[in-house]
Chains A and B, each alone.
Chain A
């Protein structure tokens, strides 16, 4: 079974609208971390937001928020007021286990295109 599933290969969104990128994960470990990265055409993976499995509140970083639904094993990324510069590939990733298990498992990504 895939550990990280991103079911949206591509999305087109009008500028200034909010967008939700889906991510579901599979793990039996009670301790894990979930990450979202942005990869523009330049190739660099840019860290956006982190959610720990024991965090009580959903993570937020500026225009980015993570809709963490633990029982459903989903960790969707929400981008508010989208901008043209948000056009990129977006990857969801998971670290299983506690510290000392820093291996990240990535999904296949979602290509987001913002339309002017």
Chain B
């Protein structure tokens, strides 16, 4: 079974430029998450989707960040315009509730560098 796929793996842009990250969750997983991981820290949730619906976006900086999950499968996270402080790893995860567990499985992440 294929895991969570993310692209690109690395992205270098200049500040004020737009950038987009793509995520394909594990097949059949209805819940999708985007996390931000700063250097030396644990991941922090940006947004969570249940199918097509964003059910928790309280930590998403909506002035510059946006996300979508069309058709309840793939998702795209966008930053426009990017700032120096956005340099981090952006992780996508997915989960499927089975019995008493709801383990989140993560992709390899996209490492963003803003110059």
Contact = CB atoms under 8 A, between A and B. Distances in A.
A37 B102 contact: no
Contact of B111 (A43, A107, A108): A43
Interface centre among B40, B56, B93, B103 (most CB of A within 10 A): B103
Chain B facing A: main interface SS: strand
A44 B106 contact: yes
Contacts of A103: 45, 48, 56
Contacts of A42: 108
Nearest to A109: B42
Interface of A: 4, 33, 35, 37, 42-47, 50, 52, 91, 93, 95, 99, 102-104, 106-109
Interface of B: 31, 33, 40-45, 48, 56, 89, 91, 93, 95, 97, 100-109, 111
